[in-house]
Structure 1
Amino acid sequence: MKQNQRGNTMRYTVYLSGEIHTDWREKIKTAISEKNLPIDILTPNTDHGSSDDCGTNILGAEEKHFWKDNKAAKINSIRHMTAIKRADIVVVRFGDKYKQWNAAFDAGIATALGKSLIVEHAEEITHPLKEVDAAAMAVAENTEQVIEILEYLSRDY
């Protein structure tokens, strides 16, 4: 494991942003645990209904869908922004099922904050994500590659 100047083991904090419809986060968490990597994981709320309804559930109903979404987005952004700021590395996964504008936004914020960015997506969506890919330190085509990158970064050389 890497050590800092004082000889203490260096830990990474990694924020896993992006699509919420597959088990990619669990695969990464399991690999980190099994390989005993010095990595702490932060995530957004991955319960779609809870995330979408948090604003109206907490602050009250809205007549227009725009304001319902606006309330939820602002509350959720507290978590996202805090996690991105705390993270050493931000991993953003783009799935093929939906256009994930929020994931692209997280990638932009991470880049603006000078965070190390790893992007994961299928080869088929490389063209629409070319600007995001250009800002990334690594572009992976699958979760296994992301795990390998995290393992590599955690090795003591």
Structure 2
Amino acid sequence: MNWKIYLSGEIHTNWREEIEQQVKVLDLPVEIYAPVTDHASSDDCGVSILGAEEDKFWHDHKGAKVNAIRTRTLIEKSDVVVVCFGEKYKQWNAAFDAGYASALGKSLIIMHGPDHQHALKEVDAAALAVTRTPKEVVNVLSYVIRGEL
């Protein structure tokens, strides 16, 4: 089986690349999906494709809806959804992705540092694993895919 993994969450660090590299080193049968991680492209896709908006609300609204086409499709297609909450910004979209994945019955792995433990307690409660590092995420994936420690 080729496992489909969606990597949701913060876009300001290289956690996705770390997971992808470790998955390759372990030769896990994994296909990785992700949102558009170029911040400017993600923010401006709606107005770039569908036309300018004077009001910032509608600018963001268009972009969010266009991005949701990708996000929803890839989460629905995935076997496991990994959601990373970073330290620098609040990732409301990541919390939404976690809730969406949970509502679809997807296996959910959450990754965040100890500073977010209280704020994310409900998100953590919906997860099947709560991790702090990309290495822990890969260790969980390796175990569930191969069935061995």
Q: TM-score, normalised by structure 2?
A: 0.97
SS of match in other structure, 1:31: helix
Q: 2:68 aligns with which of 54, 58, 77?
A: 77
SS at match of 1:41: strand
Partner of 1:15: 6
| 1:105 equivalent in alignment to 2:121 | no
Which portions of structure 1, spanning 4 or more consecutive aligned residues, are displaced by more than 2 angstroms? none
- Aligned equivalent of 1:118: 109
- Matching residue of 2:46: 55
**Unaligned regions of 5+ residues in structure 1, if any?**
1-9
Question: Within 5 Å, which residues of 2 pair with 1:13-52?
Answer: 13-52=4-43
SS, match of residue 119 in structure 2: helix
Hey, what does 2:120 align to over in structure 1? 129
1:156 Cα deviation after fit: 4.9
Is residue 43–residue 63 contact of structure 2 (8 Å, CA) maintained in 1? Answer: yes
The total of aligned residue pairs comes to 148
Task: For 2:46 and 2:147, locate their aligned partners in 1 and report how far apart those are by CA, in whole Å.
Answer: 44
2:138 paired with 1:147: yes
Give the aligned CA root-mean-square deviation in angstroms. Answer: 0.8
- Contact conserved, 2:22 with 2:135, CA < 8 A, in 1? no
Q: Distance in 1 between matches of 2:53 and 2:115?
A: 38
In structure 2, the gaps of 5 or more residues are none
Q: CA deviation at 1:127?
A: 0.1
Displacement of 1:141: 1.2
Q: CA deviation at 1:33?
A: 1.2
Q: Secondary structure at the match of 2:7?
A: strand
Equivalent residue in structure 2 for 1:67, among 58, 61, 64: 58
